[in-house]
Amino acid sequence: MIIIVNTNIYYPGRIGHTVAEETIIPGEEDVDRFDRAKRIGWLDMKAIAGAKVLMVGAGAIGNEVGKNLVLSGFRNITVVDMDRVVNSNLARCLFFQEIDATERGLKAEIVAAGMRKLDSKVRVKAITSTIQEQGENFIGRFSLVLGCLDNVLARLYINSHCCHFGVPYIDGAMDGFRGKVQVVIPPDTPCLECGMNRSHSRIVEQRFSCTGNDVSVFIPKIAADITTTSVIGALQVREAMKLMSGKSENCISNVAYYDGLSGSLDILEIEKNSDCLNHALPALKY
Ligand SMILES: [Zn+2]
């Protein structure tokens, strides 16, 4: 018989306190890769493993989200990104090495390869393209979409298609030490367009000018650092774990704003916009 001793630092008053007694074989609990996660009672590791996850964007946030997805037990992941690695990616992307920037490697391929190295049982498919090029029905094949993007247009494309197909969408964004996460669970919650501000609308209007000309819009690069990236990527995958474990009532149904300078996390409540066309479309599943 072995007495299990609780040494959890978050319960200092209970250090050394005997919390349970049972017969165990020393080392047995270390055989299972997900032994520690399974000790979180409400986590549905089977549902997490069975989820078909789409990750759009394999840049800074995508590297963090990809790593977290694999380590959290997601087994079936598709990565979409059209871009190649450059030197300025190397300061905040776990899976990118100097040689990837030198050779201008494909982000989706490199992130997918890195994810497979973390766990050989994970199926990761890499697709090098824009999300729009994958066709109208592509998003409907997935259980869940995580947005790791740096542009409004792709976000809105995913948002509207997720609303149409009834697929939950977890969107992450950041700017310097600030970041935000929004969870869209169609048809219950507000979507990205419900909370869009005027500057977003202006960008969309410029891009889709009705003059017939394709208008070029210069959008400056966004300030970013790895610590904020890590926080936002972690929040996104945590929401994914809750969703797949049937804990949607515990998800961020509004927008979570993280301010790394003050160390605060605030929830901004938004409401469904009655004029938002995404809610007039039928949710087909979930
Ligand atoms: Zn909406």
Centre of ligand 1 from the C-alpha of residue 274, in Å = 8
pLDDT of the residue at 52: 98
Centre of ligand 1 from the C-alpha of residue 280, in Å = 9
Beta pairing, strands 76-80 & 144-147: unpaired
pLDDT of the residue at 13: 44
Please indicate, yes or no, whether residues 155 and 174 belong to a single structural domain of this protein.
yes
Q: Which residues fall within 8 angstroms of residue 183, CB to CB, at 6 or more apart? A: 168, 169, 170, 171, 189, 239, 243, 251, 252, 253
Please indicate, yes or no, whether residues 26 and 120 belong to a single structural domain of this protein.
no
Please indicate, yes or no, whether residues 208 and 107 belong to a single structural domain of this protein.
yes
pLDDT of the residue at 222: 83
pTM: 0.86
pLDDT of the residue at 220: 72
What CATH number does residue 76 fall under? 3.40.50.720
Centre of ligand 1 from the C-alpha of residue 135, in Å = 22
Place of tokens 């990616």: 89
Coil, strand or helix at 22: strand
**Which residues are in the CB-under-5-Å shell of ion ligand 1?**
191, 193-194, 276, 278
Centre of ligand 1 from the C-alpha of residue 136, in Å = 19
| Residue 25 within a domain | yes
224-264, pLDDT tens digit by residue? 899 999 999 999 999 999 999 999 999 997 899 999 999 99
Centre of ligand 1 from the C-alpha of residue 62, in Å = 24
Neighbouring CB atoms inside 10 A of 262's CB total 10
Ranges in the chain, pLDDT < 70 = 1-24, 197-219, 281-286
Coil, strand or helix at 204: helix
**Structural domain boundaries, residue 18:** 1-31
If we measure between CA atoms, which residue out of 193, 195, 191 comes closest to residue 204? 193
Please indicate, yes or no, whether residues 143 and 22 belong to a single structural domain of this protein.
no
159-172, pLDDT tens digit by residue? 999 999 999 999 99
Strand partners, 255: 182, 268
| Residue 285 within a domain | no
102 alpha-carbon distance from chain centroid: 28
Q: Which residues fall within 8 angstroms of residue 274, CB to CB, at 6 or more apart? A: none
